[in-house]
């Protein structure tokens, strides 16, 4: 021990050390002290006695009357200890209290012995043992008591109870909205057909695996092993270990972006188990042998759909964000969410019309679809809009745009910054756009041929009347492009060459590899859809919107479902999503024709589609074609667009845009977002073309403008809507577009 560790007056306060006299020697009461039990007494020794020749130190009581004596030198017994007897029992280990008493006695003994040493001896002892001396225990610091978590008070419970009652009431209203929207005799045959198809498809996958039990057992063992590893890692985390996850978090999966999914062992276990199971299920479908490609595609889609629905992020009890929001709001968030659910079910007439944007912040003609123009022609299926020029001269050849009828046209005129229409007019093009009708039951029999004749062909006639131009450049978007391709084949058979250039935007004409949309279309589904549409004469727009949302369920459905109906948060205002929710009905005859002869029979690319008695052959379409596909398109996959482009008889410029079905097309140059790839005509297979294509930064719009204006560079004075043979009927964006589904 060091001098700093000794009390300055320690020598005076410590009692003197006494040696224990041999047995039988008399001791004064003041000298009596408790005997220190030896740590290991020889077996067989008389109880309470030490071995001969051994001295046992005792401690004298403290006090002024205690006399100091020199410490007797201990006698070292060098004799061999007797061997333990065979039948003797081992002594019981000393109790904790005995050990503590012995240690205290030994410490006092050493302290008293140190007092008898000279200064030199004490210094030598200190130098030898100081490095091993224990540090003194610091005096305990007085810490302020930690604030206890606020316990729920009676008022909180009252609020929870009141909100629970309101939640039940709103739930009754939501159920009434769902049931009340059902038409008489409506058995929801489409839903039943979808469920039956999913069960049948996944059953086929299960049969293939059960046919090879050893492979099925191995696959199950892989899953169980992975889940066991995750559970073991979770237990180690609960015990305080810092162990890396078996399944690292995906930074692109926004469902699990809250820190609790990684920081909390329980929620981390949920996340990892879910991720491992869903990945295993997807890989199992992919490894299934002997599956028809269509069945495998459907099985993969249904697996992803079920996995998305069962994500722990979708439920209050297993989502830390929802738990926190519910506790903070005392259940008020669930009441708000149920109210929005009731409103959305009512808006969808019993079907869920999922809100994705605050539509109240936008008004057509004011915030969206604002490019100046006039409706100059109208038929039962469309209005034709001619846009006002913004340049003194324009290109002589006008541009006619055919948008899809499953959405409204103003995706190409969202706002001043994102409008393709406004940009094209600023480049000197005279732009016409078809605005399709939002049909009702009176137009149930308007089929594909009616939309071609009263839509595309009628618009072509009107454009020529309004401008006096002999030739027109046309552009078709999505299913509008499919109809435009059929129209071009029809005109080619008729020898009509008025359209001498065409642009296809995310358009399919061959449906061999049509992506996830294929899973919704087969004979059974078509029959169920026909039965449902026969009651109204059209397909409800909300059904088509839900179909597209389910193609990307995590991003387009469950994200909004959780945010709206569980967090109780109104979605933000977003123009693109507002347009997406502005659903359009589709006439029964048109929809059935499109699904059967495009998706099921693939008749257009195979030369078997017949319209108005004319068999269509795309090989006879020999005009220049600009074919734009989008790399991440899940509606018109880039590979499918590439394959279809090879069926035309003319020169095709295939261009691949970044992003998806909408963002890949609506990509203004000023934004400088995404990119596009060019690599010549569509020859060979898509993957080979994509490997050698040249990447260009920014928007494809400039590339397209150079291509289309080089074909017809002549310019004429700007054309004002209404100055030609057609007089304005109303201002853009027209009347048809304002009809809500």
The 10s digit of each residue's pLDDT in 84-112 is 444 444 445 555 556 566 656 655 655 66
Low-confidence winner among 137-146, 162-171, 284-293, 686-695 (lowest mean pLDDT): 137-146
If one compares 455 and 555, the residue with the highest pLDDT of the two is: 455
Residue that is written with structure tokens 């991003």 in the block: 555
Contact (CB, 8 A) for 731 and 375: yes
Task: Give yes or no for residue 468 having a pLDDT over 60.
Answer: yes
**Which band of pLDDT confidence, cut at 50, 70 and 90, is reported for residue 181?**
low
Range with lowest mean pLDDT among 202-206, 367-371, 426-430, 641-645: 202-206
- pLDDT for 396 equals 98
Label residues 235-260 b or e (16+ Cβ within 10 Å = b).
eebeeeeeeebbbeeeeeeebbebeb
Task: Evaluate if residue 54 carries a pLDDT over 70.
Answer: no
Alpha-carbon span 412 to 423, nearest angstrom = 10
- Give the position of tokens 């939002």: 438
Q: Kindly report the pTM of this predicted structure.
A: 0.75
CA angle 315, 316, 318 (to 5 degrees): 70
Of 125 and 558, more confident = 558
pLDDT at 19 over 90: no
The Cα 688–Cα 684 span in angstroms is 7
Tokens at residue 298, please?
A: 């459907």
Residue 351 pLDDT level (bands cut at 50, 70, 90): confident
* Higher-confidence position of 188 and 691: 691
Distance CA 480, CA 615 (A): 19
Residue carrying structure tokens 């969202």? 414
| Model confidence pLDDT, tens digit, residues 483-520 | 999 999 999 999 999 999 999 999 999 999 998 888 88
Confidence of residue 164 (pLDDT cuts 50, 70, 90): confident
Percent of the chain with pLDDT over 70: 77
- In the residue annotation, 478 being an active-site residue is answered as yes
Q: What is the pLDDT of residue 177?
A: 74
351, 543 contact by CB (below 8 A): yes
Hey, what are 353's tokens? 């019309």
CA-to-CA separations, 153 to 20, 189, 325, 608, 670, in angstroms, rounded: 68, 50, 18, 74, 56
Q: Is the pLDDT of residue 571 over 80?
A: yes
- Give the lowest-confidence range in 363-377, 436-450, 512-526, 637-651: 512-526
Residues contacting 449, CB < 8 A, separation 6+ = 611, 612
Over residues 69-97, the mean pLDDT reads 45
* Confidence grade of residue 113 (pLDDT, cut at 50, 70, 90): low
Kindly report the CA angle at 538 between 532 and 540, in degrees rounded to 5?
80
Q: How far is CA 117 from CA 120, 455, 484, 613, 683, in A?
A: 8, 117, 113, 126, 103
pLDDT of residue 520: 81
Res 112: pLDDT: 64
- Kindly state the average pLDDT of the residues 542-568: 90
Query: Which of 345-349, 437-441, 633-637 is predicted with the least confidence, judged by mean pLDDT?
Result: 345-349
pLDDT at 61: 39
pLDDT band at 672 (very low <50, low <70, confident <90, very high): confident
Confidence of residue 206 (pLDDT cuts 50, 70, 90): very high
The dihedrals phi and psi of 432, each to the nearest 5 degrees, come to -120, 140
pLDDT computed for residue 294 by the predictor: 82
pLDDT given for residue 110 in this prediction: 57
Smallest CA-to-CA distance from 174 within 347, 38, 42 is with 347
Q: Does the pLDDT value for residue 240 go beyond 60?
A: yes
Mean pLDDT of 327-349: 91
Which pLDDT value is given to residue 521? Answer: 87
Cβ-count burial 692-712 (b if 16+ within 10 Å, e if not): ebeeeebbbbebbbebbbeeb
216 versus 741: the higher-pLDDT residue is 216
Q: How confident is the model at residue 52 (pLDDT cuts 50, 70, 90)?
A: very low
Average pLDDT rounded to a whole number, residues 316-336: 93
CA 645 to CA 185: how far, in whole Å?
Answer: 44
pLDDT (0 to 100) of residue 127: 55
How far is the C-alpha of 422 from the C-alpha of 547, rounded, in Å? 31
Average pLDDT over residues 210-223: 92
Phi and psi torsions of 679, nearest 5°: -160, 25
Q: Taking 70 as the threshold, does the pLDDT of residue 260 lie above it?
A: yes
Q: Give residue 179's pLDDT band: very low, low, confident or very high (50, 70, 90).
A: confident
In this prediction, residue 741 carries a pLDDT of 74
* Closest to 523 (Cα-Cα) out of 468, 599, 469: 599
Span 586-606, mean pLDDT?
96
The rounded mean pLDDT for the chain is: 83
Residue count of the chain, please give it: 741
Q: What is the pLDDT of residue 435?
A: 98
């Amino acid at each position: 021990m060091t001098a700093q560790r000794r009390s300055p007056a320690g020598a005076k306060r410590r009692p003197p050390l006494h040696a224990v006299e041999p047995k039988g020697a008399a001791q004064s009461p003041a000298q009596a002290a408790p005997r220190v039990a030896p740590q290991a007494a020889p077996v067989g020794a008389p109880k309470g006695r030490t071995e001969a020749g051994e001295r046992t130190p005792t401690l004298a009581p403290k006090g002024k009357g205690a006399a100091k004596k020199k410490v007797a030198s201990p006698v070292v017994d060098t004799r061999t200890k007797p061997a333990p007897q065979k039948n003797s029992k081992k002594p019981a280990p000393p109790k904790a209290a005995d050990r503590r008493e012995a240690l205290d006695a030994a410490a006092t003994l050493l302290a008293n012995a140190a007092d008898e040493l000279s200064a030199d001896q004490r210094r030598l002892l200190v130098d030898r043992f100081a490095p091993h001396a224990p540090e003194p225990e610091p005096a305990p610091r007085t810490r302020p008591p930690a604030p206890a978590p606020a316990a729920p008070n009676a008022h909180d419970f009252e609020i929870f109870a009141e909100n629970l009652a309101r939640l039940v009431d709103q739930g009754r209203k939501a159920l009434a909205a769902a049931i009340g929207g059902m038409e008489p005799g409506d058995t929801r045959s489409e839903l039943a057909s979808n469920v039956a198809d999913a069960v049948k498809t996944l059953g086929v996958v299960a049969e293939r695996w059960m046919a090879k039990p050893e492979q099925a057992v191995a696959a199950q063992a892989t899953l169980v092993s992975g889940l066991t590893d995750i559970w073991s890692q979770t237990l180690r985390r609960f015990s305080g270990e810092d162990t890396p996850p078996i399944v690292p978090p995906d930074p692109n999966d926004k469902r699990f972006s809250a820190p609790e999914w990684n920081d909390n062992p329980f929620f981390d276990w949920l996340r990892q188990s879910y991720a491992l199971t869903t990945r295993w299920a997807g890989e199992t479908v992919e490894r299934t042998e002997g599956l028809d490609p269509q069945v495998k595609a459907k099985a993969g889609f249904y697996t992803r759909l079920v996995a998305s629905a069962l994500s722990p992020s979708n439920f209050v009890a297993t989502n830390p964000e929802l738990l926190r929001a519910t506790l903070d709001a005392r259940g008020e968030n669930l009441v708000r969410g149920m109210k929005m659910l009731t409103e959305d079910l009512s808006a969808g007439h019993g079907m869920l019309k999922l809100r994705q944007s605050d539509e109240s912040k936008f008004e057509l003609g004011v915030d969206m679809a604002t490019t100046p123009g006039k409706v100059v022609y109208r038929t039962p299926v469309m209005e034709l809009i001619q846009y006002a020029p913004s340049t003194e001269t324009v290109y002589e050849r006008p541009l006619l745009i055919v948008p899809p009828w499953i959405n409204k046209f103003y995706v190409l005129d969202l706002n001043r910054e994102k409008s393709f229409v406004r940009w094209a007019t600023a480049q000197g093009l005279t732009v016409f756009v078809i605005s399709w009708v939002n049909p009702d039951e009176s137009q149930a029999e308007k089929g594909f041929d009616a939309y071609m004749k009263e839509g595309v062909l009628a618009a072509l006639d009107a454009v020529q009347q309004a401008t006096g131009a002999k030739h027109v450049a046309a552009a078709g978007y999505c299913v509008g492009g499919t109809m435009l391709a059929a129209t071009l084949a029809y005109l080619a058979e008729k020898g009509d060459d008025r359209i001498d250039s065409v642009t296809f935007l995310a358009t399919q004409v061959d449906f061999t590899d049509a992506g996830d949309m294929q899973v919704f279309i087969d004979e059974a589904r078509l029959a169920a859809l026909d039965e449902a549409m026969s009651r109204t004469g059209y397909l409800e727009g909300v059904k088509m919107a839900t179909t597209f949302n389910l193609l990307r369920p995590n991003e387009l459905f469950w994200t909004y479902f959780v945010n709206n109906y569980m967090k109780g948060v109104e979605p933000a205002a977003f123009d693109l999503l507002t347009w997406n929710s502005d659903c359009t009905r589709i006439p029964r005859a048109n929809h059935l024709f499109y699904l059967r002869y495009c998706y099921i029979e693939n008749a257009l690319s195979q030369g078997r589609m017949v319209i108005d008695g004319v068999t269509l052959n795309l090989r006879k379409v020999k005009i220049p074609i600009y074919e734009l596909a989008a790399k991440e398109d899940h509606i018109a996959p880039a590979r499918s667009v590439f394959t279809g482009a090879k069926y035309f008889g003319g020169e095709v410029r295939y261009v691949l845009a970044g992003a998806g079905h909408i963002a890949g097309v609506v990509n203004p140059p000023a934004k400088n977002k995404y990119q596009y790839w060019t690599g010549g005509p569509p020859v060979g297979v898509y993957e080979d073309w994509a490997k050698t294509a040249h990447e260009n930064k920014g928007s494809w719009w400039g590339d397209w403008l150079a291509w289309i204006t080089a074909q017809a560079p002549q310019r004429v004075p700007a054309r004002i809507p209404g100055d030609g043979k057609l007089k304005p009927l109303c201002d853009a964006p027209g009347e048809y577009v304002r009809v809500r589904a």
